[in-house]
Amino acid sequence: MKLRRFATYVACLAASMVAAPMTAKADTATHFSSNGLGGSLIDDTLNLLGIPDDASSETTVTQFVVPGSGPVSLTFQVLFDHGSFLYDFGFYDVSAVTADPVADSKGYAIQALSHSVEVFDDRLVDPGALKTVTVQGGAVLGFFIVPNNTIANVLADPDKFFPSSITNGFYRAPLFSVSDANPGQFDQFLSFLGGGKTLFTFEDLSRAPGSGSDSNFTDLGFSIDVQLGVAPVPEPAALTLGGVAGTIGLALAAARRGRPEGRAGRIVA
């Protein structure tokens, strides 16, 4: 009976883990919602690009898939720059990053920026600037800005940027499309897909408490002449059916030995 009760308990625990996987993301920022982040500028820009000006075009995913299977040309354009900070804007292949964005945000940023492609340096370009980059189809990309600094400076001395300063404008951490990599795990950009195009708009000040952000998400706007796809969010191994089954098996084996395991493993959000 004790074994049966214990097995029932573990099975219920596993089911709850599958139904409600843990996440560190602090919030989900959207334009097509009650708060309408971005205001009319977003609507005007969507109409200009031919992207549907409704909720069907907005996505809250944090990583994006390049369509196709061979080399794909992506032409980026700076649409607007209303922020007071200068910036570097770029992307990276998420497969090159192994650091946990929450537990090791500095390590995540170092790996991401070390494998990044700089698209625009605000010190050298103005709105209207174009740049074409060739990327392999099927690649999964994350996007970022380095507010008021450069990729090179972050990589040269990352300790100056982590933890992110909220008072010194020159040493603020990079801001990523991957929300968990941002200070406080807050969303920092809006994304829209449709009509064969992609639109990203950034809030260039960290939205972590005390950082001074107005959360308008219209500081920077970039378009791509290709409609990217949404990348599925991989479940942590412990939350997949195989991982849960393994956890149950280990727990039952321990119960048969008369010593239930208190920790079958660590779940990484």
Could you state, in chain order, the average pLDDT of each consecutive group of 10 residues for the chain (269 residues)? 45 41 68 84 96 96 96 98 92 97 97 98 96 98 96 97 82 95 94 98 88 85 98 54 42 38 29
Q: Answer yes or no: is 29 within a domain.
A: no
Query: What domain range includes position 254?
Result: 1-21+235-269
Q: Answer yes or no: is 32 within a domain.
A: no
pLDDT of residue 16: 40
Checking 16-25 for CB contacts under 8 A at 24+ apart, the result is: 17/238, 17/239, 17/244, 17/267, 18/239, 18/241, 18/244, 21/235, 21/236, 21/239, 21/269, 22/267, 22/269, 23/180, 23/269, 24/102, 24/180, 24/185, 24/269, 25/179, 25/180, 25/185, 25/187
pLDDT of residue 165: 80
Number of domains in the chain: 2
Q: Answer yes or no: is 27 within a domain.
A: no
pLDDT of residue 269: 28
Q: What is the pTM of this model?
A: 0.78
Q: Would you state the structure tokens that stand for residue 31, as one six-digit string?
A: 């334009």
Q: Would you state the structure tokens that stand for residue 213, as one six-digit string?
A: 């952000």
Q: Say yes or no: 17 and 90 in one domain.
A: no
pLDDT of residue 83: 86
pLDDT of residue 162: 94
